[in-house]
């Protein structure tokens, strides 16, 4: 299991904010980094829009799709397959 001390040796994920990347063939940008559990929030940069719900689940506005990419595996033994699928463009 990767403990807190070993997590300090991972690159600072906030350095990825604003970078463009490919996630499973889809052009995205890193818009946020969540700390617990470590997760990258990606915004799709494609031409498609989705309906975004408000806090009550009602349709609120149109926007780009959001993808969440876990940094660690669920058992915290390594990096997630989703993270390893990312291809940095910037």
The DSSP element (H or E) to which 70 belongs, if any, is strand 66-70
Please give the structure tokens belonging to residue 89. 């463009």
The pTM of this model reads 0.77
* DSSP 8-state class, residue 18: T
pLDDT in tens, 32-80: 998 888 899 999 998 888 998 888 989 989 989 889 999 888 887 888 8
Rounded-to-integer distance, Cα 3 and Cα 8, Å: 9
Rounded-to-integer distance, Cα 42 and Cα 31, Å: 6
- Residue ranges covered by each domain of the chain: 4-88
- Determine contact, residues 33/16, Cβ cutoff 8 Å: yes
Instruction: Determine if residue 57 is left, alpha or beta; phi over 0 gives left, psi from -120 to 50 gives alpha, anything else beta.
Output: left
pLDDT in tens, 19-35: 999 998 899 999 999 88
């Amino acid at each position: 299991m990767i403990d807190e001390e070993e997590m300090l040796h991972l690159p600072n994920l906030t350095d990825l904010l604003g970078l463009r990347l490919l996630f499973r063939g889809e052009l995205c940008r890193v818009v946020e980094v969540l700390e617990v559990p470590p997760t990258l929030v990606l915004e799709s940069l494609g031409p498609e829009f989705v309906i975004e719900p408000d806090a009550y689940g009602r349709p609120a506005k149109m926007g780009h799709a959001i993808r969440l990419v876990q940094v660690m595996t669920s058992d915290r033994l390594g990096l997630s397959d989703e993270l390893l699928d990312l291809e940095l463009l910037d």
